[in-house]
Structure 1
């Protein structure tokens, strides 16, 4: 019997060595508190997260605790005891729970282990020995070199999170006059486009076969369970995709089953070309004045020209990924400045 769509999805247990991640993100990226959202989105593309646990002495992470509770994460408290090692206690508890889940919950196919600590390398080896797939998650600056090669896949948090400061919020618009209908907000449609392109990009990067519409929608619902195309004026998901195809945001092809088309990005995307052209223009103007342009702060400069710019509209997870794509297309040149610790761009 063929597997149902849900049976084909990976079932993921997410276990976080939270103190390691939080300190690594704060010291290495200047991100505090730790934002679980990009991790959840990356895993949602890969399958269903059926367990979420984070291990720490939560008395040291009050704000983080509230955010994680809202994200439906089970908080495992490892209080600090006199004469004992809190770190070792948390590591041991997390390892014991992982092995217990592997033996007692056979339906869990994948473990996502959030840590940069090489002490977890034996755990990763054991889970793979038990025929479990292991996805590692860590901050680049605080991740041991021994850990990523031990995993089936490793996600650097640096590449998932956008650390570029947001552009200043625009001035609030005047309230509509009484008795007049409030106009619809274009941001609503843009949010749908970003969700579709971000999810499609993640599925396409996995390279494990064509992305069918049914698979795309399941992945979108894992990222946003409240998503409903009817709320955006479409009678079905297929109608939404056809609308996006008309706008040259996605391309549809014949799928393996009737009514379930294959979804991809258009081969020639005018909107994406315009975005790269905009980047080239901004880099060219700034380079005439300063020689080369640092990546940090560049997104704000682009947004001064186009306030609604977002690299996620074009399927890129971060502005750095967008800039690297521009370099690959010969739009700009880009080199790493070791002394400044930043990328520097110049016209191609």
Structure 2
């Protein structure tokens, strides 16, 4: 008997998210369960949100009107938090998908997690690291929709890539202008990946924990190890698959093992100084 599909509540901070990415977001959410609750919050009288109008109808998203009661305050955030807690107490959901680049939702995410539900975050690269790492899995919107030719490899639920410092809220600036979309994420170079100490330590630790006596670990097991340790998605670094990311670091070997893949830490090359010292030791009587 198959397990029932997980029920997900999709809550969108329309003031802080682009309408153009909703299709890709729903595809991602569908991998975790059914988004049987779909709500978008904002002041729908604001011309900035006009781009959401056709999206709401097309994807059956319920608009929640929230007036801006005072200048500089985002009442939509408060409405989302109240609704999220009401949905949590109803006890008929398995997870939440929160679409926003606002770090103010970090306490909400942490509260939801304490009740054992998964929280999937979606936001732009400007999203503060506290919100990114609080989620069970966080995906940058710029990483979605770049390559839809084949499904992405199920990777760890995903530490996210080191985010760009938090930028101003989307609501700031020209009052009637929609925020410009950020450029797609490009793959990080080997040097950039190696320079990310947190990432490398996470990958090495996961491989070591899942490795056999020869040092090889099944890639799926490595992904599970990462999921239990941090919020992570290889696409946040510009790589569609976890295996591609590990290869790109130059620090791991990846091989096919039947229909699966295995990975291990690449043997460290002995330095010239070490080789010279070894030769001198051999030459001594």
Question: TM-score, normalising length from structure 1?
Answer: 0.43
CA spacing shift, 1:140–1:50, aligned 2, 3 Å:
same
User: Which structure 2 residues correspond to residues 228-239 of structure 1 after superposition, within 5 A?
Assistant: none
1:45 is displaced (CA, Å) by 1.1
Query: 2: CA distance between counterparts of 1:65 and 1:147?
Result: 27
2:31 is matched with 45
Q: Is the 8 A contact 2:67 2:75 kept in 1?
A: no
Partner SS for 1:136: strand
2:162 is matched with none
Q: Is the 8 A contact 1:69 1:75 kept in 2?
A: no
> Is residue 12 of structure 1 aligned with residue 22 of structure 2?
no
> Is residue 149 of structure 1 aligned with residue 149 of structure 2?
no
Query: 1: CA distance between counterparts of 2:6 and 2:99?
Result: 17
Q: Is the 8 A contact 2:122 2:139 kept in 1?
A: yes
Q: Which has the higher helix share?
A: 1
Give aligned pairs, total: 172
2:53 to 65, 74, 95: 65
1:206 is displaced (CA, Å) by 5.0
> Is residue 321 of structure 1 aligned with residue 215 of structure 2?
no
Q: Is the 8 A contact 1:38 1:161 kept in 2?
A: yes
User: Which structure 2 residues correspond to residues 129-168 of structure 1 after superposition, within 5 A?
Assistant: 129-141=114-126, 143-162=127-146
Point out where structure 2 has 5 or more consecutive residues left out of the alignment.
158-233, 250-285
Query: 1: CA distance between counterparts of 2:240 and 2:112?
Result: 35
2:106 is matched with 121
User: Which structure 2 residues correspond to residues 208-227 of structure 1 after superposition, within 5 A?
Assistant: none
Q: Deviations over 1:241-293 (max 9, x none)?
A: xxxxxxxxxxxxxxxxxxxxxxxxxxxxxxxxxxxxxxxxxxxxxxxxxxxxx
Partner SS for 1:80: coil
Q: Is the 8 A contact 1:139 1:156 kept in 2?
A: yes
Partner SS for 2:24: helix
Q: Is the 8 A contact 1:38 1:160 kept in 2?
A: yes
CA spacing shift, 1:322–1:72, aligned 2, 3 Å:
same
User: Which structure 2 residues correspond to residues 237-248 of structure 1 after superposition, within 5 A?
Assistant: none
What root-mean-square deviation, in Å, do the aligned CA atoms of Structure 1 and Structure 2 show?
Answer: 3.4
CA spacing shift, 1:121–1:45, aligned 2, 3 Å:
same
Point out where structure 1 has 5 or more consecutive residues left out of the alignment.
23-32, 165-190, 208-315, 331-348
Query: 1: CA distance between counterparts of 2:53 and 2:132?
Result: 27
Query: 2: CA distance between counterparts of 1:322 and 1:132?
Result: 26
